[in-house]
Amino acid sequence: MFSLIWLIPAIPLAGFLVLAVGGAHLTRKSISAVGVSSIGLSASIAIGTALQFFAAPPAGHAITQQLWTIFNINGLRANVAFHLDALSLLMVLVITIIGFLIHVYSTGYMREERDYARFFAYMNLFIAAMLVLVLADNLFLLFVGWEGVGLCSYLLIGFWYHDPKNGAAATKAFLVTRVGDVFLAIGIFLFIANLGTLHIATLSRLAPEQWAVGSSIAIAASLLLLGGALGKSGQLPLQVWLPDAMAGPTPVSALIHAATMVTAGVYLIARMHVVFNLAPSVMFIVALIGGATLLLAGSCALVQRDIKRALAYSTISQIGYMFLALGVGAWSAAMFHFMTHAVFKALLFMGAGAVIVALHHEQDLYKMGGLRHRLPVVYFTFLVGAASISAIPLVTAGFYSKDMILYEVWASDKGGALLWTVGFIGAFITAVYSFRIVFLAFHGEAKSSVKTYIGKSMTIPLVLLAIAATFVGFLEIPRTLLHAPVFSHFLETVLPYPSLVNASVSTELVLQIASAGIVFAGIGAAYLVSRRTRSGSSSTYLPAGVHALLLAGFGFDWLYDRLIVAPFILSARANRNDAIDFAYTGAVQIVEEAAYAARLTQSGRLRWYAAGIGIGAVIAVAVVVYI
């Protein structure tokens, strides 16, 4: 199966080409077949490759498949080459399997959509770009996939482009993520200038040899990579695009937030962990940003009325947990939470989409209620997702991944009690906002009638994801239970274990008991909050000013509008005639005037020609004599 690695991104790309070129001539059933089967085939090859990887690992636990050379300039080489190791295999499995379930779900969710073929074409291209990103063996090809993901996010967020708000949301996502992309591009040039290669494995070998720990060049490289990661993963201060990305169809939200775009930054830092280890100060910044983001975004999720917007802030917060883990060197813990988050966040978004469809595209939580009896399958699967993201002990995947992060943050030599406290408070906030959604949408009195009942194409993926959200956490069982660290052992060939200085079974057990208690406290608080929330009005459990601040995402949009957007618009209006063009048009006018003046000398009058020759001769003689 290793020889078929190239087909994993190639088949979704082929599906995109078929749908983009011939989609207008295909029936809806044919469009569904092409869109879904291409991802299904890719997932099948990925699973087969994984089985071979487990049964007979390649030499060095990694394999590279080179197809052709993109360029080779004085030894600086970039190939279309795919590198498969434990980390990229994990990413490929999550992207293709979750992506396949989302595609199946989309056949039901988008069944009445006019641009059916365009939707699946974009979705296939999105997954193909993400697969290129995670399989790339060099930074150039990684950047191609990185930009491809950004392009597809623009196309999908603005899918319903007839509404100007959707176009504005897509543009905002494109521009904000481009800020991070500029940092990444500069970082790539820095690697070329200092290490002379784009090959990731070679970079990882040369960087520790040529750069000292804490050196300015290592810090600069790490900061530039971090800048790229912040944009794609929606972390402070570039998180403002992600809530507005809810303008796209719900399957798009599930794909962006669960398996593709927002995890690209997490993957980049994990893949380049050797460089980050050379910059301890940057590692601390990563942890601080992750901690601050998880608290800020989690707090904003507490008050959102739009069910999808609440889940969007939830995603920002959960990615913050991953950054917190990355910052303390808990690489495997971050990737484990990436995997569990992909499952339960896809489940939550798809469950929310089922509710939205059933209520004829109603997204306001305050207009929902009582749905547990009318949508029992959606209710129980959504409940499983909420329980998992809240990390209810023992029976949810989120418990094992989040507690792994909290323990390693506490015990790591780069972590400590302060960072652990941030994550601990975040666990309480997570439980509150997750079960607030459950209580508002599914419990209480019904506020609207169910107008549409969902079909099997939407319920089957929900059930499968609910099962995964329950059992996938058993891949990393802590020492306080049976101690079966299957997941971290699998990744140890790529990602090192963190340096734990305060590690003990008793400490881990105490931390788990504390986090379990705070989770149940959060669920209780969510119940009280939902009871005190008045229909159609703001929540009463927070002061009006605080509520408004959280609803507005701490005013980051307001701040950026005044510091960046408004001055730019003002300067553009002042420069309506374009000062740069003025320089070029001025040069043209000077040439035109000179030509006009020269034309006047061509009068056709012989006496003026003779006078001109005489004056010129006098000037020439004077120059020779006196100079």
Reading the block at residue 143, the tokens are 């950047």
- Taking 50 as the pLDDT cut, the residues of the chain under it are 535-538
Q: How far apart are CA 514 and CA 406, in angstroms?
A: 11
Cα 507 from Cα 504, distance rounded (Å):
5
What global pTM score does this model have?
0.91
Query: Do 325 and 289 form a contact (C-beta atoms < 8 A)?
Result: no
Q: How far is CA 605 from CA 119, 240, 550, 618, in A?
A: 75, 73, 84, 21
Q: How high is the pLDDT of residue 583? A: 78
Separation in Å, CA 52 to CA 45, 93, 364, 403: 11, 13, 47, 31
DSSP character at residue 446: -
The residues facing 77 across adjacent strands are 72
Give the span between the Cα atoms of 191 and 175, in whole angstroms. Answer: 25
* Burial bucket for residue 6 (CB in 10 Å: 0-12, 13-18, 19+): middle
Bond preceding residue 567 cis, omega within 30 of 0: no
Instruction: Return phi, psi of residue 76, to 5°.
Output: -80, 110
Cα–Cα–Cα angle for 443, 448, 450, nearest 5°? Answer: 90
Element (H, E) at 77: strand 76-84
pLDDT of residue 609: 82
Residue 289: name the closest of 336, 225, 226, 222 by CA: 226
Quick one: pLDDT at residue 536?
Answer: 47
- Rg of the chain over Cα atoms, rounded to whole angstroms, equals 29
Residue-wise pLDDT for 447-499, tens only, equals 878 877 788 999 999 999 999 999 999 999 999 998 899 999 999 999 999 98
Tokens of 51: 């089985």
Q: Give the distance from CA 236 to its chain's centroid.
A: 13
| pLDDT, position 540 | 55
Interatomic CA distance for residues 462 and 456, integer angstroms = 10
> pLDDT value at position 538?
47
Q: What is the pLDDT of residue 535?
A: 47
How confident is the model at residue 140, as a pLDDT? 96
Per-residue model confidence as pLDDT tens digits over 261-316: 899 999 999 999 999 999 999 999 999 999 999 999 999 999 999 999 999 999 99
